Amino acid sequence: MSNEEKDRSLILEKSKSGVHRAVFGRATVIALLVAIQAILMILVFDSFSRNVPYVFGGHVIFALIITLVIINRPGNPQMQLPWVIITLISPIVGGLLYLFVESHPGQRILEKRLEKAYKETAQYIQQDEGVLERLEEADVGTANMAKYIRRHGNYAVYENTEAVFFPLGEDKFRAMLEELEKAESYIFMEYFIIEKGFMWSSILEILKRKAEQGVEIRIMYDGTCAFNYLPYGYPKELEKLGIRCKMFSPIRPVLSTHYNNRDHRKILVIDGKVGFTGGVNIGDEYINRREVYGHWKDTAVMLKGDAVEGLTQMFLQMWNVTERKEEYGRYLPGIRGERKAGQGFVLPFGDSPFDTELIGETVYRDILDRAEKYVHIMTPYLIIDDLMIASLSYAAKRGVDVKLILPHIPDKKIPFALARGHYRQLLKAGVKIYEYTPGFVHAKVFVSDDKKAVVGTINLDYRSLYLHFECGAFFYEAPVVYDVEADFQKTLEQCLEIKLGDRKNWPMGQRIVGKLLKVLAPLM
């Protein structure tokens, strides 16, 4: 082949290569796909444009139907408003999601099982009428609240109960270890969080020994622990040690709605004689052995005496959601002692998202609405509805000293922004707000007039007040009330008082988020 022929051949090959690249190169392929997509979009829009009246009209009609369904269902309007907004924005997605949430059979099954457990325990929980009469002589309003809780939750009010208040998680932890060592018959533990670490290891060592001694041990923790704190199969590990264990509402990879209703309670019962509740979970940050958000301020209370029965009742009801049969008579009624004067009244109570009564919020609002001198509150979150805002504001406007202590170092930025979004309205009403500068407040405490106090698990947010299983202990004219108030005053010394003008110094993003997400707060 001559050089001229070789040159022509080389030019031809290069030409073919250029055509190949032009036809099969990435740019060409992308251009072709864009063209195809453009053609498809034109066809879709052309078809859609001819049917716009029908599609749009159908969306509007469906949105209106779902909206009417939502607003005509019983419940708090502020819990309904986010669903209305979502449905109006996206009728198909929002409407179908709402219908799914409201009609899901998993939630109905859990609700029926709990109702059965409540009925089974009701025959064992008898109100001592003498106790109720003495409470009525002391305060008719408080006695009426106790009757309400009795009718709608089947919880009794007790005397003859010693209460010890713990101003920090580490104080409760030490008492827990001491009381666990004394266990002879059974140990019941129900906690929202159990996390591996020093605290849990110390408790588990005692539980192992007690199991070997024949003590019955039952442990229940919320299923969300499987996300971050414990292996999914951890209950089986404890079963091998002779410890009965289960997760409440285990998280499974299937879309469900009752998973939204978590067991937020913290209960420890030992032999029916000693009981603990409060904000403290089982984790090292709760005893300040590990610092997460500065100093962790938490509280708890220990009961010794008749009122422990109420905590035992709550534990057995939740435990038996998945059990076929329980011999309640082995544990209920609880141990009764001789009446001792000067210990006041104790009312352990629980709250469930599956009944129509907001017992936790009602107890809080009753304290606010009937307070004469002061109401002092510690809470980690402040995401509340208009009813709670009205109670806080009305109490302050009629001269009651209403003070709230909240975290200065938040554990979650969005709830913190939502909480601060309520500050202005409350401050203008005369409510005084303080933030705990050393760190995070996890305590859930109400104390009023040197007469009443609540220590429990109930936050001032929608989840605690509407969606979660919660518990608390209400005290009237019990010595522990003074301890709760003393701790509030001591904590106040480490707080920064918030003034109306402080808002301008907060991050702009925080202020915007607090306003934008306020309407969706009930779903968060």
Give the pLDDT confidence of 201-220 residue by residue, as tens digits.
Answer: 999 999 999 999 999 999 99
Residue 447 has pLDDT above 70, yes or no: yes
Give the residue from 473, 486, 471, 475 showing the smallest Cα distance to 452: 475
| pLDDT value of residue 524 | 66
- Per-residue pLDDT reduced to its tens digit, 338-390: 777 779 999 999 999 888 789 999 999 999 999 999 999 999 999 998 899 99
For residues 496-501, average pLDDT: 94
- Could you tell me the residue ranges of all domains in the chain? 14-105, 107-150+157-343
In Å, how far are 37, 406, 458, 474, 512 from 310, measured between CA atoms?
Answer: 66, 29, 17, 11, 44
> Which pTM does this prediction carry?
0.85
Question: Confidence class of residue 33 from pLDDT cuts 50, 70 and 90?
Answer: low
Each residue's pLDDT tens digit, 255-295: 454 557 899 999 999 999 999 999 999 999 999 999 989 99
CA dihedral 506, 509, 510, 512 (to 10 degrees): 110
Percent of the chain clearing pLDDT 70 (strictly above): 85
Instruction: Please check whether residue 242 is in contact with residue 217, taking contact to mean a CB–CB distance below 8 angstroms.
Output: yes
Which of 522 and 383 is assigned the larger pLDDT?
383
Percentage with pLDDT > 90 across the chain: 60
Q: How confident is the model at residue 228 (pLDDT cuts 50, 70, 90)?
A: confident
Q: Residue 488 is encoded by which pair of tokens?
A: 């509030």
Write the pLDDT tens digit of every residue in 189-200.
999 999 999 999
Please give the structure tokens belonging to residue 132.
């109720």
Q: Is the pLDDT of residue 246 over 60?
A: yes
Tell me, what's the pLDDT at 62?
74
**Measured between alpha carbons, how far is 516 from 48 in angstroms, rounded to an integer?**
33
CATH number for the segment(s) 107-150+157-343 = 3.30.870.10
In three-state secondary structure terms, 332 is coil
At residue 41, the pLDDT reads 60
Structure token pair of residue 399: 């001269």
What's the residue count for the chain?
524
DSSP H/E element including 231: none
**CA-CA distance, 269 to 278, in Å (whole number)?**
13
Mean pLDDT score across all residues of the chain: 86
How far is the C-alpha of 395 from the C-alpha of 383, rounded, in Å? 18
- The sign of the CA dihedral 321, 325, 326, 328 is positive
Give yes or no for residue 117 having a pLDDT over 50: yes
pLDDT in tens, 51-93: 666 666 666 777 787 778 777 777 777 777 777 777 777 777 7
For residues 494-499, give the mean pLDDT. Answer: 97
Looking at the predicted structure, is the pLDDT value of residue 309 above 90?
yes
Distances (CA, A) of 34 to 29, 262, 389: 9, 48, 55
> pLDDT tens across 5-27, in order?
544 443 444 444 444 444 434 45
Give the up-direction half-sphere exposure of residue 429: CA atoms within 13 A in the CB hemisphere.
Answer: 21
